[in-house]
Amino acid sequence: MERKVTHLVEGEPREEMQYYHRICAVTVVSSAFPIPLGIRFQKNGEDEVACSLDLLRELRAELGSRFLDLLVADALYLQAPFVKAIEGLGLDWVITLKKNQPELLAKSERLISTLAAEKMDEHPELQLWHAPEVYWPVAERTVRAVKTVRQPAVKHVRVQRDEQGEKRAAKKTVLERSTNFYASNLELGSVPPSVYPSSRP
């Protein structure tokens, strides 16, 4: 779908065409392969978040209150009205935390910087930090925040020429670092945040 949006470019408003999703989907991702639970086409002028919320309401009405254990979503969905609505449906959630929630991200980074990483014995390439209470000013509430740093060893293949001009593939193993933040309403109880099933990548 398409819509016109206005951006500030060097202090001047500039209108441009933006292309965005036509459908929203809810998919089970904990199985060996993804299982779609439902899809919904977006209406003209409707954004992805509103469309997804309507789909979740439809699924709850058709499948009952426990049609999923935990809603995992991208940072676009970390909005106070959406979070309030899905909690009203009885859903627990984990949503990626990025710069679209700058105050919550800054508070999470600041608080987590004072904590030690959790030990991940089965996954030494993964480090995890957990802050059980971070104030989210936009929503006027606290949430849990998690930071993960993953440094898996990845093999890169580079083609280069030898002294005779022949092409040869050279393999090199490098550590690729990725850092992610998440916000959540999960009540962990006595379960430590570092519990990480060995069957998961």
For the chain, the structural domain boundaries read 1-69, 99-188
pLDDT band at 111 (very low <50, low <70, confident <90, very high): very high
Give the span between the Cα atoms of 197 and 195, in whole angstroms.
Answer: 7
Query: Locate tokens 């293949």: which residue?
Result: 157
pLDDT of 64: 85
Distance CA 118, CA 192 (A): 9
Q: What is the mean pLDDT of the chain?
A: 86
Backbone φ and ψ of 21, nearest 5°: -60, 145
Query: Cα separation of 38 and 26, whole Å?
Result: 6
Decide which of 85 and 121 is more confident: 85
pLDDT digits (tens, 9 = 90+) for 27-44: 998 888 889 999 999 888
**Residue position matching structure tokens 């899905």:** 86
Q: Is the pLDDT of residue 201 over 70?
A: no
